[in-house]
Amino acid sequence: MSARARLRAVVPAPLPPSQAGPPEITGRPGHRMLVQRCDDEVVARALDDTFAARPGPGIRFPAPWPRHRGTWELAPDASLAVFAGVHAVRAVEPSGVVRWEVRHGCWYGACLDAHESYAEYADRRDHRYPESGSVGFSADGRLVWAHVRGPLPGGEPSPDTVDEWLVIDAGSGHVLARADAEAAAAGSFHFPHPADPHQMGLSIGEGQDGAPLRWGRWDGNALAVDCLDDDLCLLHLSPSGDRLMTVSHDQGSLAVRDSGGAVVAGLEWDAEAAVPPHPGAPTDDEDGPGACWDWAGGFLDETTLLVSTTESDDEWGQGRHWLVGTTESGGPVPVGYPLPVSGEPTALGGGAWTTLSPGRDVLHVWELDGPEG
């Protein structure tokens, strides 16, 4: 038994892959945006319900530093782009006006300088490959959550704090709350609660040292941080925000959890036990590496997961994608495509997901077409 994927749309990237990172589709159904980042700017185009670009020239946000020097996020209404850089978090309007900036400690680990501008370290060889934090907008776009390296100019929560988690007013840049992230990150990702702008997930990567998972709640005054696990990667939230999709740091275990971090009964899958051997793998390779879950995928709807094993499949041939139902017994169901796909899938919600073309210049949008025997 397998699940068929139906091609719903072909979405060309606005910028050539030689000049930019891969294109992405952001936002919820009815509010989709096609976005892409190059060194100089972020380009955004509104998409209609068929994933076609809406009429108009699109929106361009000038970037304050090259794309390999940090991360970025676009507001839900595309009115603001926020860049998380090596020394600061900066909010930029489409006109190029800097709405606000929050400076913080340097993400290059050995540097203790409080940089005031990117120009101070732009040509320094030791700052070419810094660690990084990230930013995320709340569902209503009014808050920016930022994972930064301390200290802030105004001090830090305690002398032992390495990374801080901030809640920032998106309009003014005022830091509303701050807390110790209890981590020392190499990188991170934010996951906004779809319905509650006062909740946010933060998945932190510390390289081989671990993967701290944090859940934040801001009550309008203080930021409370739950340390859900120190070796767990958050991949996606369900449409209700009540369930988390996680993969263990060693990529062996996929699970659905509640917002407190507890595994929902019966919703945990071991990769080696649940995924059959790749058809291209030798049958007598008993000592070879088994399957592992990718750090990719997500909820197609409240009860259906899309996952992949492309990293471990790569040695044997075509990477595989899997459908996992959470309301019935049984293991992952392979997804069949009408044309070759490459890489990992990205869930969009609303039953849709994307894959990137081999040339990294086109996004294919997919939806389920029903089962096949």
Is residue 82 assigned to a domain? yes
pLDDT, residue 156, reads 63
Q: How many domains does the chain have?
A: 1
Distances (CA, A) of 257 to 228, 319, 321: 10, 26, 21
Phi/psi at 114 (5° precision) = -95, 85
Q: Which domain holds residue 96?
A: 63-230
Is residue 57 assigned to a domain? no
Q: What is the DSSP letter of 122?
A: T
Reduced to 3 states (helix: H, G, I; strand: E, B; else coil), residue 223 is strand
Is residue 283 assigned to a domain? no
CATH code assigned at 226: 2.130.10.10
Cα–Cα dist 209/184, whole Å: 9
Is residue 81 assigned to a domain? yes
Long-range contacts of 199-202 (CB under 8 A, 24+ apart): 199/241, 199/259, 200/136, 200/138, 200/145, 201/234, 201/237, 201/244, 202/134, 202/136, 202/145, 202/147, 202/165, 202/234
pLDDT, residue 372, reads 47
What residues in the chain have per-residue pLDDT under 50?
Answer: 372-373
| Surface-to-core class of residue 95, CB atoms within 10 Å of its CB (0-12 exposed, 13-18 middle, 19+ buried) | exposed
Is residue 190 assigned to a domain? yes
Is residue 87 assigned to a domain? yes
pLDDT, residue 373, reads 44
Is residue 362 assigned to a domain? no
pLDDT, residue 289, reads 63
pLDDT, residue 283, reads 73
Is residue 104 assigned to a domain? yes
User: Which residues are CB-contacts of 95 (< 8 A; sequence separation ≥ 6)?
Assistant: none
Residue written as token pair 């094993």: 309
Would you state the structure tokens that stand for residue 10, as one six-digit string?
A: 């072909």
